[in-house]
Chain A
Amino acid sequence: MNTLMNPLLATITNVDPWIAICSLATVVITVGMGFWSAGKSKSAGDFFVAGRSVSVGWNASAISGEYLSAASFMGVAGMVMATGYDALWYPVCYACGYLFLLLFIAGPLRRFGAYTIPDFAEGRYDSPLFRKIAVCFVLFIGFFYTMPQMKGAGTTLAYIFPGLPYWVGVAVVGAVITLNVSLGGMKGITLVQAFQYWLKVFAITLPVFILASIVGHYQQHLDANKTAFETVAANSAQVERKALPAKAPKDEQWIAPFGKLTTKAVDASIAAAPTPEAKATLEASKKPYSLLYTYSLIIALVCGTAGLPHILVRFYTNPDGVAAKRTTMWVMILIGVFYVFPPVYGVIGRSLTPELYDAVGAKGTDKVVLELPTLLAGKDHPLLGSILSGITCAGAFAAFMSTFSGLLVSMTSALAHDVYGRILKPNSTPEQRLSAFKWAAVIIGAVSIGLGMQVEALEINFMVGQAFAIAAASYFPLLFMSVWWRGMTMKGAATGMLGGGLTALAAITLTSISDVANAAAKKLPAADVAAYWVDHPIAKSIANFWVAHPLARILCEQPAIWAVPLSITLMIVVSKATARSIPADVRMKMLVLHAPEALGLKQEYIKEHEGLGH
């Protein structure tokens, strides 16, 4: 017993009290609000779509709270610090991708009046089979997106409690959120997520304003990095800057486009090139390949935002299509304001915490947001440093808790509403469906915790980018084409969604296997799955293939540039070939999607009082 208790006590006594208080307060408030809301969530409609009564302001805050995940709070800053300019595409496209959602999908989707995306898939094509396919993708994308949130949880708890194993953080946070969701469903988490958005904005802005006023501003630290066209950094003397370790990218690569993030595949090939001629050929292709990588990343992030099931499901909670559009615009403003700040941490972190370049996994650049405020302790502000660290930790907690809550509701709805209520037991009573929701939350929560324990080796933001690529190649084409093309058939929609989504998934899995094996080879304290792949012949042969074919590696790591057109092409070709099976009432369906609410054609696809829809 003592062998267990002593390390635990040592861990607890090492904790900064402010960090512990702020983090604990976030958890207590989250759980408390969940309990309070649980008392107000009575019906199935409350659990699945918050009674379709969420106002624009609340919903925009809740969507923003749900969307700003561990990747946004910690991962973006970490990635900007690690790779520089190219990582800016992540926050920009995360925020601006909502424009595609606003322009093409938000209003019509809400007018259709479903509970979930599988509801829409079935309702638009009158096909129960298509519902099953759509459910699988909700779970696929959801689990892909859940893993980085779990990594955020493990990293933050390991930071707060030095010495605490990574997996403990994953298990504790996963269990708390699972409890919250199973108690309050969608209505319960709307309030929690709206609160967490404002907490995250506070937690990301206040520390950086105070920090910048003491250690120097955003542009001063950026100015300290010289470009390839400057002989010396213009502002190097005005701000403190520690020496960069060998692993850090050079200034001119870091501050300019087409840097480490987009060139790592070609760089690996150049390092292994057998002859100077081969090296020269690869050097010449480096920049065009980087441009290709950049465009593919942009497509994945922009189209992926418009295809994330856990975000789309929130649009059903608006009262009508106009409210859905207004909500989208406010979401873009709220998250845009937030996303200006994480890169500031990355830029200042490069100057002041370069030692993070030498660490990997949970101790690497992903923790720069948590680490920077502690520097104030060394600048005669120990109390201020502790308080600000506490605030950023609270923000990190809010980030992965709110996103995981949303993912859990989305995946739980897929399991309880689509699988149980529609496929397994269509005659179930509302009480049985509520009970199924709670059990499904526990099952999905447990699987998420298990998966989260396996991904310490991977970068948070990188994993999120992959989830976006799969969503971009599956749900975005499905929704876009289903809303705007009356000639789409179920077979066309399903073939396109499966063709694009599964090939993107396969391509991403291939790159992940070699990346995980590579991380394990660096002796990262990763879980068994990473260690399993390190000496595996498949992982080795994949890694060798990437070295020989850097273009293939880029196209597999960022598949959106070919997977999205593939998906749309398959949809068009197969729909044309199966034109006879266009739903007979397609005109009415399109009217429901597009006619203004004032005409009275809007319908709730799922009618709660009927229990089973219509």
Chain B
Amino acid sequence: MKTSSTPDHGHTDGFLAHLMRDQLKLSIACALFFVTALVALPLLNYFQPQFMAQRVAGFTLSWLILGVLFFPFVWVISYIFIKRSIALEDAEAAAAKDGLKK
């Protein structure tokens, strides 16, 4: 039942900490864009109702942002994350293999 039977492969605590820190940094950076938008839109609706109620091509600005534009915004974040995350993993794997050879 335990995972401890798996061989250790010689990776150190330092390697793990570095690995997790780099991955978390990337995830949090991407999450910040998303969370900022999620927090900001209700605040704009609250404090600037007239501005958010202006018409843009028949929609109110607030409706256009939430009902239409939010989706592509999130797709862009996820695309950037995937590209960077795969590049990061490749670099980590190469560095770890180099380190083990040495």
**Chain A interfacial positions (CB closer than 8 Å to B):** 85, 88-89, 91-92, 95-96, 98-100, 102-104, 107, 122-123, 126, 128, 217-220, 222-223, 227-229, 234-235, 255-258, 287, 291, 294-295, 298, 302, 322, 325-326, 328-329, 332-333, 336-337, 339-340, 343, 484, 584-585, 587-592, 594-601, 603, 605, 613-614
Contact = CB atoms under 8 A, between A and B. Distances in A.
23 contacts: A89-B66, A92-B70, A96-B34, A99-B34, A102-B78, A102-B81, A102-B82, A126-B2, A219-B57, A223-B55, A229-B50, A257-B52, A258-B45, A258-B46, A287-B46, A302-B38, A329-B75, A336-B72, A585-B2, A596-B89, A598-B97, A600-B9, A613-B1
Contacts of A595: 11, 19, 92, 96
Interface string B17-34: 001100110010011001
B1 A123 contact: yes
A585 B30 contact: no
A100 B74 contact: no
Contacts of A329: 75, 78-79, 82
A88 B63 contact: yes
A598 B93 contact: yes
Contact of B16 (A99, A128, A590): A590
B31 A103 contact: yes
Contacts of A322: 86, 89
B4 A585 contact: yes
A587 B19 CA distance: 12
B68 to A, nearest CB: 6
Interface of B is mostly: helix
Given A585-B4, A595-B19, A92 B46 contact: no
Contact of B59 (A219, A337, A588): A219
Nearest to A252: B53
Interface in B48-63: 49-50, 52-53, 55, 57-60, 62-63
A-B CB proximity, top 6 nearest: A219-B58, A598-B93, A336-B71, A585-B4, A596-B89, A257-B45
A223 B53 CA distance: 11
B6 A601 contact: yes
Contacts of A599: 9, 11, 93, 96-97
B97 to A, nearest CB: 7
B66 A85 contact: yes
Contact of B92 (A98, A255, A333, A596): A596
A92 B82 contact: no
A222 B78 contact: no
B3 A123 contact: yes
Given A228-B49, A603-B6, A96 B70 contact: yes
B74 A336 contact: yes
A295 B60 contact: no
A235 B57 CA distance: 11
A336 B20 contact: no
Nearest to B58: A219
A95 B46 contact: no
B42 A291 contact: yes
Nearest to B12: A587
Contacts of A603: 3, 6
Contacts of B36: none
B71 A340 contact: yes
B59 to A, nearest CB: 5
Contact of B68 (A96, A217, A340): A340
Nearest to B37: A96
Contacts of B89: 322, 596-598
Interface of B: 1-6, 8-9, 11, 13, 16, 19-20, 23-24, 27, 30-31, 34, 38-39, 42-43, 45-46, 49-50, 52-53, 55, 57-60, 62-63, 66-68, 70-72, 74-75, 77-79, 81-82, 85-86, 89-90, 92-93, 96-97
Contacts of A107: 85
A122 B1 contact: yes
B58 A222 contact: yes
Contacts of A104: 27, 31
Given A291-B42, A600-B9, A126 B1 contact: yes
A122 to B, nearest CB: 7
A126 B38 CA distance: 37
A291 B46 contact: yes
Contacts of A613: 1
Contacts of B45: 256-258
A331 to B, nearest CB: 10
A332 B80 CA distance: 14
B8 A325 contact: no
Contacts of B79: 329
Given A585-B2, A599-B96, A332 B75 contact: yes
Residue among A95, A96, A122, A294 facing the most chain B CB atoms (10 A cut-off) = A96
Contacts of A291: 42-43, 46
Nearest to B71: A336
A257 B42 contact: yes
A589 B5 CA distance: 11
B90 A598 contact: yes
Given A257-B42, A332-B78, A596 B3 contact: no
Contacts of B60: 85, 222, 227, 255-256
Given A103-B30, A598-B93, A614 B1 contact: yes
Nearest to A290: B46
Residue among B4, B62, B63, B90 facing the most chain A CB atoms (10 A cut-off) = B63
Contacts of A95: 71, 74
A298 B43 CA distance: 13
B42 A588 contact: no
Contact of B66 (A92, A98, A255, A600): A92
Contacts of A340: 67-68, 71
A85 B46 CA distance: 13
A441 B53 CA distance: 50
A391 to B, nearest CB: 23
Nearest to A584: B4
Contacts of A222: 58-60, 63
Residue among A102, A228, A257 facing the most chain B CB atoms (10 A cut-off) = A257
Nearest to B66: A88
A427 to B, nearest CB: 14
Contact of B53 (A217, A229, A235): A229
B19 to A, nearest CB: 5
